[in-house]
Amino acid sequence: MARLQSPLAQYAVITGNYWVFTLTDGALRMLIVLHFHALGYSAFSIALLFLLYELFGVITNLVGGWLGARFGLNKTMHIGLMLQVMALSMLLAPAAWLTVPWVMAAQALSGIAKDLNKMSAKSAIKQFAPSPAQDSSPSKSNALYRWVAVLTGSKNALKGVGFFLGTALLYWLGFQLTVLSMALALLATGLISRTLLQNNLGQTKQKTPFKAIFSKSSKINLLSAARFFLFGARDIWFVVALPVYLSHQMGWSHLWVGGFFAIWIMGYGAIQALTPHIVKSHHTAPGNDFRSPFALSQWALGLSVITALLAIFFSASALILTGGLFSFGIVFAINSSMHSYLIVHYARNDGASLDVGFYYMANAAGRLIGTLLSGAVYQGYGLGACLWVATFFLLASAVCAALIPLYQRANAQK
């Protein structure tokens, strides 16, 4: 038991918890899109199914960071798991009950669950990763960077597996048996994690006032704005528009659509995990000098160029479309991984969940806007228009990231 209380063992428990949750979350998203598209729902109707999922994600991240600081990240993580079990249980209702309002309510619970789990996992790493003061050797001075990259990258790789798993289980078992199996897996994970994870993890030493949920840090506010536009840009074409386009316009089967998304997300996750080896700033982790956020801006600009080219040429052939999407995935993964490190790096030591929660609130808001635009823009104007809107979002993300060094220099000179 003493070994299970070590920082590395606790990191493994958090990662395992996050992995299982992510696997079911990815499967559930693909289940919802494909199952309800097969039932005849329009692209915009499917987008509405995710409306409360994303909306409650915004609220949860904002309030969840405060709850984690006040009561402990272990508690918020396990509450998230149990809420996901409840959300899945709602989808086990008879088919006649699965109306848009009912599924939206289930997705609202799922959105709360996902962001409680995610915020808790990301914030908890700050508690366990060796700091430079604890370990100054060159090979380990960037432990926080590597731990965040591995957690984020592996999570997204498993989300890709979840996309494929959800599609395959829908094909083999049907909707209800698939949902039931995921609920049971989460329940077992919660019981194991509750036994092994430390109590009062991430709880602040002093009571945290509710007004602390809003960040007073300029760099965190700007990084959050950059994250809003980055993930809004992805979800504008990714959530509804692309799977419906591949299924309806290109005639791909559900298994082919699920397989493509699985490979895309798994490759994206692998690149995220490898980002510390791909992006090196004078052998230091990004965030250790003023140039790092500017580098983040440059990666966002590069991503906007890829998206604009994709908007121009995607209809020429399936090869150009898929090749462009994988190019987007590689550069987006590097952006996302650097973002994930920077927020943990910038977050305060005591009450990290407050800053992380605020940041992922912006992430969820971007996903919310992206999801709505994905259905509305695609239904009105098609996939090309979704890609052009995404391009403008990415330019806005680049501008926000470029402003961070200016505020850092200004604060350093005071």
Quickly list H helices, 129-285.
143-172, 175-196, 218-238, 241-244, 254-278
- Going by pLDDT thresholds of 50, 70 and 90, the confidence category of residue 134 is very low
Choose the weakest-confidence range: 215-224, 369-378, 395-404.
Answer: 215-224
Sign of CA dihedral 289, 285, 143, 398: positive
Mean pLDDT of the region 221-249: 89
What angle do the packed helices 291-313 and 218-238 form, to 10 degrees?
20
| Domain residue ranges in the chain | 3-413
Mean pLDDT of 247-252: 80
- 370's CB contacts (< 8 A; 6+ apart) are 231, 232, 233, 234, 235, 236, 238, 239, 393
d(CA 178, CA 150): 28
Q: Which of 255, 106, 53, 262 is nearest to 170 (CA)?
A: 255
Q: What is the pLDDT of residue 23?
A: 83
pLDDT digits (tens, 9 = 90+) for 329-358: 999 999 988 888 888 778 766 666 778 878
Is 60's pLDDT higher than 60?
yes
Mean pLDDT over residues 364-388, rounded?
A: 89
Q: Name the percent of the chain in helix, strand, coil, to the closest 5.
A: 80, 0, 15
Say what the pLDDT of residue 351 is.
62
Q: How far apart are CA 370 and CA 86, in angstroms?
A: 26
Is the pLDDT reported for residue 395 higher than 90? yes
User: Is the pLDDT confidence value at 409 over 70?
Assistant: no
Rounded CA-CA distance 224/371 in Å is 18
What CATH number was assigned to the domain covering residues 3-413?
Answer: 1.20.1250.20
Q: How many CA atoms are closer than 13 Å to the CA of 214, on its beta-carbon side? A: 1
| Euclidean distance between CA atoms 120 and 115, whole angstroms | 8
